[in-house]
Chains A and B, each alone.
Chain A
Amino acid sequence: MNETGQSGISKFTGNLKTLADSFTSSVFRGGKPSSDKARASVIYNNFFMHIQGVKTHINTLRPSYTLGMGLIALFLFLIVVASGIFLMVYYNPSLENAFKTVKNINNVVFGGKVARNVHKWAGEGMIVFLFLHMARVFFTSSYKAGREFNWLIGIVLLILTFALNLTGYLLPWDQLSYWATVIVSNIMMSPKELTDSLGLTKFFDVGTFTTDFVFAGLNPGKESLNRIYLFHVMLLPIVISVFVGIHFWRIRKDGGLTKPEDFSVRNSDIGYVLEPDKTSGIFPTHKTYGLMELAKGKTPAVDKDIENTVMSWPNLLIAELAVLMVTLAGVLIYSYYIDAPLKEMANALIPENPAKAPWYFLGLQELLSYSAFMGGVGLPSAALLGLALIPYLDREQYKVGVWFTDSTGKKIAVESFIISVIVIIGMLVFAVNFGWLRNWFPEIPQLVITLINPGSIWVGFMILWSLFVIKRTGSTRMGAMALFVMFLVSYVILTYFATEMRGPNWGFYWSKSQWPIH
């Protein structure tokens, strides 16, 4: 055993002395990389990093291309998880304690108020940045060239994010959350309007079933708090993590982010990348394949454009780290100055007037005020279906990775923007001033209103306008462009309108200061 003549004890003390070094090198195998080979192995030997390519295309690193939106959404999710675990330590989902523990988090827990604000704002920020990310992906045609299914997974993630935010909204058990949940449970009940008017309710009451399933009853109460808590801290985070994993895995398998075919390096790119180390390393700048870039099929990375890639370590990682830090700073500063709302304890006897859903559903609530079914189920389903179908109905594979495709695209986007702003504001002004069918013909059957209301007319207009654009330009991409711009504009305008201009009894007010005092 003792071949070198060294005593066992001195070997042991030797190992003890080098403990720190050997531990470090066991974790960071290879130490700080000093060659491209080492830089490559950092990426593919690390569990968290191997989902990224060893080399990254320069286009990906240009902040003006991705705007970092998807990454910000991911980091917001991580912030939400971290702050959420912190809050879970103190929160108790029971009728007696829920409100009280939230008060205690605000008042007594060390840094609790900021932690709660961070949790709230980062969670709602996820929605904002998911929309912005979706817009970026759409306007750069990044749902094409093998990425069609990933677009669908993105939509699943959007829905899950809505669900995650909504379930969190109930937990403080204050007036705001209670009555918002009442509204949402009403939205869930809204298929009843259609099944009632078709006489199907007695066979399958889908509205009641889903509401009962989600809220453990038709109104928020003791059991719903427990169930919603389970959804919020267990089920949804796990499901969303799985889907995030798939989403990222597919980006990797699709050869990274999209990039324009006629990509060329610009002088300004030097601001974003570190030049490859030419003196040491195994990869020539003009190599033909990368270790982790061997993928099946006609994915764009194979054999193409290899000269415009740089090492992911450190180029990509520093960019990611910067985005993480920017996200953290943004959330922290916002949370430092703006408190998450906490109203009186929930009281089923005192309805909030107006009772409003969380802001991200207020656009729906505005449509809901015309027709419960269309606002609650019909139109959101149509919108999600429309978004999901975009990559399958627009299969033109040119100019992928270029913002707004070309000059026609820009023109169509601006045109659709202006037209949709005018039409949707006009529609709201009309509905506020003159009312709708129910006001003119009180006896009218509900089914007619379910089918003909400002919401459905707007969707019909969007579809017709996109078909008109397709006919005029001869391009399905342009039709999709028109449709998507109009969708975003209507979401933003309806949300703003319902948030700021709807007061007690869903009446119209120019500002909150005009609301009548109860």
Chain B
Amino acid sequence: MHSRFYLSLLLISGLLVISYLGLTAYHAVMPEWKYYQAEYKDLVVKNAKDDATRKRAMAMTLGFKQVYLKDLKREDRCINCHAGVDNPLMEGAKVPFKKHSGNYLVNHPVDKFGCTVCHDGQSFATNEKEAHGKGHETHWDYPILPLKYVQSSCAQCHDFNMLAKNGGEKVAKGEELFREKGCKGCHKIDGVGGDIGKALDGVGNQPIAYFPMKHVIGERTVFNWLKQHFVDPRALVAESAMKVKLAAGEDDLLTTYALSLKSEEMPKKYRRINYANPPKYDGEALYKMYCSACHEDGDKTIYDEVFKRTVPAIKNPSLLRTMNDANMDVIVKEGRAGTQMTAWKSSAAGLSDEQIKEIIGYLALKRPAEQHEPFGLAAFTGDVKHGKEVYEVNCSVCHGKDAKGGENLLGISLRSPVVQKKIDTELLAVTIADGRAGTSMPPFIKDSEVLTKQDVADVVAFIKEFPSAAK
């Protein structure tokens, strides 16, 4: 035989082609899920209690199955392996053939909801590793949720009042904690909340790449990041200003709630939330939600280690006595420029005027009956030049030479628009004269008599001159 070289090449490679085509076809005919289905079939036949069931089980054909969720525009293929998920015979069977626990499937039939709506994972996939989406190499941002966090999915369609009573206790408790721990004091949701932290809209289904995963212990998943950042924020993000005081277990509850904050709304067909009546909170609840993270219970001034400044006691009677509702309204709405106190008006942090009124009403409960002594500023004419001298001697130590406040200075900025325009001068004069009990602001007339009333009037005039004076 001649042309041995090419003939043998042809023969060997031809055999290889045939065998690898065969292998490919074999895997196409017998994919991973088919073995599970075969095992499931045996199991049903074995567990069948009567002949009719057994006969039906014997007649079961193995084949590809999927639930097409029309409104979500996605296929859900988990049932290829989790074949017994709604079969009562599979109560005690092992995973993946086990029947779904509880009676969740009564109201959430698999053929309408599929599995990934609640459990996450990759609905396209048809093998275990990719379907569960665990590990970086599956390139899937939403790995299957650990069972302790699954309730986060309930909140996509149900409101928390309903969930608290009907099997969604964890996520409902998480939402309550979220309000009471004052998370919205720093984090915005739907445009409402402070701006020290990141807005939390959609945090529940943000891709993994949005989170700094460097210091996460264990698998790099969003839920692990959330949980660990509730335990020690600065372990994950060194420059975080977040405060946490959580009891054991609360981290998981808050994680569950945070995961429920998804950016994509469920189609209307699925939703059971009544948007017509959003929950209403009273002044105390609102204070907890938006103020307590920094001001805590508001009774005493706190030095904040993270902010490196003092946080004033806003329920302090001396403050409440000096400040009427109108001035408080201005400060809450406009915030304190140069501090962490954000402007809470509806166009900024998003609180409605009504809610702010509720909060001030709640604070005002602590206001003493007796009013502060009126200063009577109108009776004096301020001398700006002398005011400047007084300022430099007495005020600049804390408020800064340029009166801008700032880092390592105890005083607030006196150049902020609030001080300059919104607050009435009488309040300024009273504050200088009487000081602010419970803060670092000492009284300059009361008790000490460092300044005269004329001096105070001069300083007030000087402060008011800032906008027109050159820097």
Contact = CB atoms under 8 A, between A and B. Distances in A.
Contact of B141 (A111, A332, A344): A344
Interface string B209-234: 11011100000100000000000000
Contacts of A63: 5
Nearest to B9: A322
A104 B140 contact: no
A321 interface: yes
B2 A270 contact: yes
Interface in B1-49: 2-7, 9-10, 13-14, 16-17, 20-21, 23-25, 28
B376 interface: no
A325 interface: yes
What interface size band does chain B fall in?
35 or more
B7 A329 contact: no
A94 to B, nearest CB: 12
Most buried by B among A274, A323, A325, A328: A325
B124 interface: yes
Contact of B139 (A100, A110, A271, A344): A344
Interface string B54-87: 0000000000100000000100010000000000
A333 interface: yes
Interface string A262-302: 00000000111111000000000000000000000000000
Given A108-B64, A518-B212, A325 B17 contact: yes
Contacts, number: 96
Interface in B161-175: none
A438 B156 CA distance: 53
Interface string A157-192: 000000000000000001100000000000000000
A274 B212 contact: no
Given A271-B3, A274-B3, A326-B13, A114 B24 contact: yes
B3 A272 contact: yes
Contacts of B6: 272, 318-319, 321-322
Contacts of B2: 270-271, 273-275
Dominant secondary structure of chain A at its interface with chain B? helix
Nearest to B15: A329
Interface in A305-360: 314-315, 318-319, 321-323, 325-326, 328-330, 332-333, 336, 342-344, 347, 350
Given A315-B3, A322-B9, A516-B214, A347 B207 contact: yes
B126 interface: yes
Interface residues of A, number: 41
B125 interface: yes
B126 A344 contact: no
Nearest to A270: B2
Contacts of A25: none
Given A107-B124, A272-B3, A517 B213 contact: yes
Most buried by B among A270, A329, A330, A517: A329
A227 interface: no
Contact of B210 (A318, A350, A516): A350
A29 interface: no
A152 to B, nearest CB: 31
A332 B20 CA distance: 7
Contacts of B5: 63, 271-272
Contacts of B141: 344
A103 interface: yes
A512 to B, nearest CB: 12
B24 A329 contact: no
Given A103-B124, A273-B3, A350-B209, A329 B16 contact: yes
B125 A107 contact: yes
B13 A328 contact: yes
Contact of A322 (B13, B130, B209): B13
B10 A517 contact: no
B376 to A, nearest CB: 59
A516 B212 CA distance: 11
Contacts of A96: 73
Nearest to A68: B9
B10 A322 contact: yes
A329 B3 contact: no
Contact of B25 (A111, A270, A314, A326): A111
A326 B6 CA distance: 10
A344 B24 CA distance: 25
Contacts of B212: 518
Contacts of A323: 9
Contact of B13 (A325, A342, A344): A325
Given A108-B126, A110-B28, A329 B20 contact: yes
Contacts of B9: 322-323, 325-326
B10 to A, nearest CB: 4
Interface string A488-518: 0000000000000000000000000000111
A160 to B, nearest CB: 28
B125 A517 contact: no
Nearest to A268: B5
Interface in A90-107: 96, 100, 103-104, 107
A273 B6 CA distance: 9
B209 to A, nearest CB: 4
Contacts of A114: 24, 28
Given A272-B3, A321-B10, A344-B139, A336 B126 contact: no
A115 B117 CA distance: 31
Most buried by B among A63, A96, A318: A318
B214 A517 contact: yes
Given A318-B7, A322-B10, A325-B14, A107 B126 contact: yes
Given A63-B5, A272-B6, A332-B20, A111 B28 contact: yes
Nearest to B140: A344
Nearest to A516: B214
Given A275-B2, A347-B207, A332 B124 contact: no
Interface in B260-302: none
Nearest to A275: B2
Most buried by B among A108, A175, A330: A108
Most buried by A among B5, B25, B73, B212: B5
Contacts of B13: 322, 325-326, 328-330
B4 A271 contact: yes
A41 to B, nearest CB: 21
Interface string A240-279: 0000000000000000000000000000001111110000
Interface string B132-143: 000000011100
Contact of B207 (A110, A111, A350): A350
B280 to A, nearest CB: 36
Contacts of B20: 329, 332-333, 336
Nearest to A320: B6
B393 to A, nearest CB: 47
A174 B140 CA distance: 11
B10 A318 contact: yes
Nearest to A110: B28
A279 to B, nearest CB: 16
Nearest to B2: A274
B10 A325 contact: yes
Given A103-B125, A110-B28, A325-B14, 7 more contacts: A272-B3, A274-B2, A321-B10, A336-B20, A343-B139, A347-B207, A516-B214
10 contacts: A104-B124, A107-B77, A107-B124, A107-B125, A174-B139, A270-B2, A318-B10, A322-B10, A328-B13, A344-B140
Interface of A: 63, 96, 100, 103-104, 107-108, 110-111, 114, 174-175, 270-275, 314-315, 318-319, 321-323, 325-326, 328-330, 332-333, 336, 342-344, 347, 350, 516-518
Interface of B: 2-7, 9-10, 13-14, 16-17, 20-21, 23-25, 28, 64, 73, 77, 124-127, 130, 139-141, 207, 209-210, 212-214, 220
Pick the 10 closest A-B CB pairs, nearest first. A329-B16, A325-B13, A329-B13, A322-B10, A322-B9, A103-B124, A322-B6, A350-B209, A326-B13, A271-B5
